[in-house]
Amino acid sequence: MTWFKHEASIIDRPKIEEMLLRTVAESRERLGIERLNRVLLLPPDITRAHAGVGWMTEFLYHHLTEAGADVHVIPTLGQHVPHTPEDNTWMFGSVPEEKIHAHDWKNGVTHLGMIEAEFVKEKTGGLVDWEIPIDLNTMTVTEDWDLIINIGHVVPHEVLGFANHNKNYFIGLGGKRLLGGSHMASAVYGIENNLGNLLTPVRACFNEAEERYLGHLKDVYIQVVMDYNDDGELVHTGVYVGDDLETYYDAARASLAQNITQFDKPVKKIVAVMQADEFRATWVANKAVYRTRMAIADGGELLVIAPGVERFGEQPEVDDLVRKYGYISQAEVLELFATQEDMQDIPHGTAHLVHGSSEGRFTIRYAPGKLTREDIESVGYEYMDVNEALNRYNPEVMKDGWNTMPDGEDVFYISTPSAGLWATKDKLAQRADHEMHS
């Protein structure tokens, strides 16, 4: 069960700091830790910096080091680009650079075991029949840690239903085979069948892997939930601390209630802004696509204003894959996946092609900072000049929700798409029905 939690319309920083201190104290008592000599902190990467997880990591780092512990930090990057020293300073403040370690998803993992094909097949209702190798960050699973603290933001997610909890391990610190197998399984199962569901097939596989292979770790989860206040600002509304699945369910249920915006009818046009200091590739900026796709009308449009976007993939090989095939439908991807070696070699990149596609149902228009019209149109998107987009839909002027432009255009504006999920009531009902029958 959850060790402790706090829910309120706004939870301020002093209250969160108090809960961080309590987490350390209760971890020692509940997990039987005599002395904290070596502690590992596992926060998200820079794409979730808006959740305050950076200053929480910094606070814990100094509290623990002042108590005599040797503290290390591994941002749970997955296959994202490692932080620069400047990124680390921006996110983690005064945590020394030499104490922050970049996860190497290709060469820095250790194989722990398998989730068998039969198990995966059962959880996906027969749609997926491959095994998922559990390869995790070597530093995390082979070195001795008196305590591991996972810090994260629970929010609707396209692969796991909701982000955080053991996602920190199995995606954030996963190896190439684990990332590929799990992402492709989620793509085959269907992105809209994953979003906002408490237990998805891939989450079920990760829960099994945690029980089998990580049960010996002395670890704890600190999970936050956020919502918009009356001024349209994201604030903390829930903090959940514990070491088991119930802690995840507590936080995910709160996110389900707070972070899903439901519409009676589909929206003709959504404008979403992806912050330049967090989102530099469509790989991560496409959260705007994932989180709004269930709200957009057939024939409608999503405009993604992304001043920081300069590439498609987080790695060169994924960038090449996106440029070669473009964002294409699930059916097209699965047909090609059967024969194309480059797709088979990086299936997490192949899954991204599906996740970033509108399935031909609506237009995705990008206003990137550093990709050209030719770049954008070559992958199946439409283009808008970023300065034109920022001038027309000025983030300083637009408000979250419905806006009527001077020429009469009605648009639904979202300032932080990564913080929620937007969907019609019908789409959510269809998704729930699929979950019930799968």
Q: What is the DSSP string of 238-288?
A: EEEEESSHHHHHHHHHHHHHHSEEEESS-EEEEEEE--TTT--BHHHHTHH
The mean of the pLDDT values for the chain is: 95
Mean pLDDT of 25-54: 95
What strand order describes the sheet that includes 38-42? 4-7, 234-242, 219-228, 147-153, 38-42, 70-73
Query: Of the ranges 187-196, 215-224, 233-242, 320-329, which one carries the lowest mean pLDDT score?
Result: 187-196
Region of 50 (left: φ > 0; alpha: ψ -120 to 50; beta: rest) is alpha
pLDDT of residue 311: 97
Q: Which position has the higher pLDDT, 204 or 419? A: 204
Query: What's residue 437's pLDDT?
Result: 39
* pLDDT for 147: 98
Residue 79: per-residue pLDDT? 84
Give the residue-averaged pLDDT of 54-66. 98
Task: For residue 310, give the DSSP letter.
Answer: -
Classify strands 421-424 and 260-263 as parallel, antiparallel or unpaired.
parallel
**CA distance from start to end of the chain:** 27
Please, which pLDDT band fits residue 434 given cuts at 50, 70 and 90? very low
The whole-number pLDDT of residue 81 equals 85
Instruction: Give the pLDDT of residue 232.
Output: 82
The dotted CATH code for 264-430 is 3.90.226.30
What's the whole-number mean pLDDT along residues 268-277? 96
Nearest CA to 315 out of 81, 110, 116 is that of: 81
Dihedral of CA atoms 102, 104, 105, 109 in degrees, nearest 10, equals -110
> What is the token pair recorded at 213?
């292979």
Q: What integer pLDDT is reported at residue 43 of this predicted model?
A: 97
pTM: 0.88
109 confidence band (pLDDT: 50, 70, 90): very high
Domain ranges of the chain: 4-260, 264-430
Give pLDDT, residue 142.
96
The CATH code of the domain at 4-260 is 3.40.50.11440
- Tokens describing residue 225: 């939930």
Contact 57, 43 (CB under 8 A): yes
Q: Indicate if the pLDDT at residue 162 is higher than 80.
A: yes
User: What residue type is assigned to position 171 of the chain?
Assistant: I
State the average pLDDT over residues 287-296.
96
Per-residue pLDDT, 436: 39
C-beta of residue 280 within 8 angstroms of C-beta of residue 311:
yes
Report whether pLDDT(287) > 60.
Answer: yes
pLDDT at 50: 87
Query: Predicted confidence band at 431 (pLDDT cuts at 50, 70, 90)?
Result: low
Name the DSSP class of 97: G
Task: Say whether pLDDT at 49 is over 90.
Answer: no
| Rounded distance between C-alpha atoms, residue 100 and residue 42, angstroms | 10
Q: Which residues contact 173 (CB under 8 A, 6 or more apart)?
A: 42, 74, 76, 78, 103, 109, 136, 137, 140
Looking at residue 433, what is its pLDDT? 47
Confidence of residue 438 (pLDDT cuts 50, 70, 90): very low
